[in-house]
Amino acid sequence: MVVSTRIKTIGDFIAKGDAVVDVGADHGLFELYLIAKHQNITITAIENKIGPYKILENNLKGLKNIKLSLSDGIASVNKETKTVVIAGMGGINIKNILNAHPDKVKGLQKIVIDAHRDIDIARRTIVNYGFRIVCEKIVFEQNKFYVVSEFKRSEKVHNYSENSLQIGHQLYKDELWPKYRDYLIETNNKTIEKIKDLDNMQDKVLKLMKMNERLRKYGKN
Ligand SMILES: C[S@@+](CC[C@H](N)C(=O)[O-])C[C@H]1O[C@@H](n2cnc3c(N)ncnc32)[C@H](O)[C@@H]1O
């Protein structure tokens, strides 16, 4: 089985004895990788859409120590669950999944995420639940960058800097940091250009609206 570097990296944050709940399991590629890596691991794969869920069922059928759940976010997570993986979705979705069941988040010890956008929103949400950022890793695959983050429950309150929350926790130590930084700057510049264009569009719209007013009155006064 060819496994993506991103999936492998998420798997690196899971220890042999962890009982893992994977939220947003899609077709179960992470489950297949983890089962091959740690034969005795227990994993619950949660998916909230029937299409991917049917493929998940098919891909994982007959495998030991795997439970499947067609349910939303962490709604079906039980009190024994200590480790949750939420990968391959946006930070706002991750925030909504956690905030939908704060009581269940309070019972967790470890959260591993791979937020594909708005990572800062996911980081802030998890830290506000009393977790510390243990480690973050940059992955470059098929011309795209990903950041995988591990959080663990902490007794101490950690006051993270804006750099840690917005950009990344000690990501400057990652060997891929210089490339990732350039990619972020370039992406931000593209967004800035688009917003500037929108400003121009507003000017153009205003000009055309004014012209229409003039056209309606033209020759009448
Ligand atoms: C892009 S896939 C990522 C699959 C896999 N986790 C990975 O990282 O490769 C995201 C999956 O999360 C599922 N998903 C999104 N929101 C969810 C939610 N609230 N509860 C359960 N699954 C969700 C989607 O249906 C989709 O199958």
Residue 128: pLDDT above 90?
A: yes
CA distance 176 to 6: 14
**Where along the chain do its domains lie?**
5-170, 175-221
pLDDT 10s digits, 138-195: 999 999 999 999 999 998 888 999 999 999 999 999 999 999 999 999 999 898 888 8
- Which residues contact ligand 1 via a Cβ below 6 A? 23-26, 29-30, 46-49, 52, 72-73, 87-89, 93, 97, 114
The protein residue with its alpha carbon nearest to ligand 1, atom 11, reads 24
- Residue of higher predicted confidence among 71 and 221: 71
Residue 1: pLDDT above 80?
A: no
User: Among all chains, which residue has been given the structure tokens 């500037």?
Assistant: 196
Distance 87 CA to ligand 1 centre (A): 7
Annotate 172-211 with b (16+ C-beta within 10 A) or e (fewer): eebeeeeebeebeeeeeeeeeeeeeeeeeeeeeeeeeeee
58-71: average pLDDT: 94
CB-based contact 90:117 (threshold 8 Å): yes
Residue 199: pLDDT above 90?
A: no
| Domain 5-170: assigned CATH number | 3.40.50.150
The protein residue with its alpha carbon nearest to ligand 1, atom 23, reads 24
pLDDT 10s digits, 206-220: 998 998 898 888 888
12-36: average pLDDT: 94
Greatest pairwise CA separation for the chain in angstroms: 86
pLDDT 10s digits, 132-148: 999 999 999 999 999 99
Taking the CA of residue 25 as reference, the ligand 1 atom at the shortest distance is 6
CA distance 38 to 16: 6
Q: What is the pLDDT confidence band of residue 201, given thresholds at 50, 70 and 90? A: confident
> What is the tally of helices (H) and strands (E) in the chain?
8, 7
Question: For position 181, what pLDDT does the model report?
Answer: 93
Q: What is the pLDDT confidence band of residue 13, given thresholds at 50, 70 and 90? A: very high
The protein residue with its alpha carbon nearest to ligand 1, atom 17, reads 24
